[in-house]
Amino acid sequence: MSKEHAKHNEDVCDFLISNGKFTDWIVTTSFYSALHYVQHEIFPLTENGTTYPHFNTYYNSVLKSRRISKHEGTKQLVRVHIPTCFSYYRWLLDACMNARYSNYIVSPAKANLAKTNLEEIKKHLKK
């Protein structure tokens, strides 16, 4: 995924924050922005002599046959390749899944923490 896609999601997140409503979507856009930022940071990835240009190539070649979800696969890659971001990324993933699939009611404090965690991730990225 592209850094531009990450930035697009982050711009939506910032718009939602300025609006003050839809805190569940602030969490969701923070997470998906983080997802695209970390995938951009990790790829291209060379593993066991094979270079994977993008996450989807890696997923289809390596993770799919192991029945690992794309979200779990990205989380594992963050743990290995950007360990300083792991706790922030895991928190965003869990918060997003909860906001989207369990309960769309998210406190403003949790929404702000989602954006803060995204900012923490960005501090550790080099690309």
pLDDT, residue 102, reads 76
Residues 6+ apart with CB under 8 A from 26: 13, 16, 17, 106, 111, 112, 114, 115
Q: Which domain covers residue 64, as residue numbers?
A: 3-123
What's the confidence (pLDDT) of residue 1?
Answer: 58
The number of domains in the chain is: 1
Q: Which residues of the chain are modeled with pLDDT < 50?
A: none
Q: What is the pLDDT of residue 2?
A: 86
Check residue 103 and give its pLDDT. 73
Q: How many of the other CB atoms lie within 10 Å of CB of 87? A: 14
Looking up tokens 């951009």 gives: 40
Amino acid at 45: L
Residues in the chain: 127
